Amino acid sequence: MTVPESFPFGEPEEGLTFEKLPARIQKFAKMSADGKNAFLVVEPRGTDELIGYGGYNTSESVDPPEFLDQTTLQGSKAYMTDIGIIIDHKHWRKGYGLELISVLIEYAKNELGCQVFRDGR
């Protein structure tokens, strides 16, 4: 996950090595526990191989009318987040990315109460 092939739209994070990933995951866990972000890691069943990660990158409180008129939210606060994933390039085209995005959207809808999803277009 730290090689340029896994980052077709940008550069890999400078200095990120496989040995540094456990500390990074601990940082993700703390940010999740603090309610700032939420992350998960991808490990194929029956393996101990970390092949990717993803999550909700922000959880901002917003109050614009253009969001509220598309929801059934009660009150005046809405929360906005974005979803991001990375899968090691050796595991592309195996369905992991689609499965990860699907899990993140399903959890956001069913557990977090998200109501509006946009694809950035």
> pTM of the entire structure?
0.66
CATH H-level superfamily of 4-110: Gcn5-related N-acetyltransferase (GNAT) (3.40.630.30)
For the chain, what are the domain ranges?
A: 4-110
Of residues 106 and 68, the one with the higher pLDDT is 106
For β-strands 78-80 and 83-87, DSSP reports them as: unpaired
- The rounded mean pLDDT for the chain is 76
Kindly tell me if the per-residue pLDDT of 84 is higher than 90.
Answer: no
**pLDDT computed for residue 74 by the predictor:** 58
Length of the chain: 121
Under a CB-based contact definition with an 8 Å cutoff, are residues 38 and 58 in contact? Answer: no
**pLDDT computed for residue 24 by the predictor:** 77
